Structure 1
Amino acid sequence: MPDATAFTLAEIVGRLGAATLCGLALGLEREWRGKDAGLRTHALVALSSAVITTSALSLYAVVRREGGDADPLRVIQGLAQAIGFISAGTIFVARRNVKNLTTAASLWFAASSGIVAGAAQFTLLAVAMGFGLAILIVLTLLHRFGLAREEDRDGA
């Protein structure tokens, strides 16, 4: 059975590569902070999102080309639910303080970066990564200098 894809190898490598690089960038920031979800976790979450999105879009194109009807948004919606479950597993409460909320949010962002990379929306991806890394890095620096409030007590 032939490969049911609407994308060239170069397009697939570009989409998955972009997602992986974004996940690595986010994971590196988490590693620097000594958090449990680091390079591998973020890279795999972003890559997985891109794989699922690319597959959904490709299958949609193949089905449409053959006269069928499909909805890749259902796959993306399922992915959003799944990453919410994984992210929630990183959050815990100790002595009435919430821990690892930023790590959970960065995992969520890694997943959305993967979805965007899988959809080949590279301009959106670049802008989002700029904002995402700025949030993680700049706001942490502001907190350390006493110019911002620590929100979730996970050390940013």
Structure 2
Amino acid sequence: MFDYRTIPPVGQNDEMACWAACLCWWLRAVRDGRPSWTQNQIIVEYDKHTASDGGFDPLTLMEVLQKDTRLKISCGVFKSSTYRFRGLPIGDLPVLIAYNHPQAGTHMNVIFGQIGRTVTAMEPYFPYPGKNGKRTGTFIDRSADFFIEKSPNIILAWPTVVFRSNNNAN
């Protein structure tokens, strides 16, 4: 299994850019023909869909990302209570997660490496509070409870699996 911690974390540029920092890191991690954009390129690419403060409504973000075929991404809304005593529904590849942070409101991380109910998260808002343009991001192990505690629902986004048929098979 690949050690995703070898890919340097991405710190968010400002208080509202968690979505862009997470997408930047996710694209580096899952590759497979997806764009390799910087956080600033991502912000420019999707700025027309964001709120005036640079934040992204989670449901709008989900819609916009899925429509962009270059990303090869699938998204879904999951009822948090389903995972109260279980692991999160993720596989071996990194997954974007939008949730209500216990102290900070709507936020995004990238999660991977689930063992039991613990995942590794790429947290873009580090150091906290830090300074705009100076955050580095970090990896932190978090329980599934951290993500579902204040969130009635979570949004997950994962690499779309493309099944290729073998036309030469008889």
TM-score where L is the length of structure 1: 0.29
- Bigger fraction of residues in helix: 1
Larger radius of gyration, structure 1 or 2? 1
- Bigger fraction of residues in strand: 2
TM-score where L is the length of structure 2: 0.27
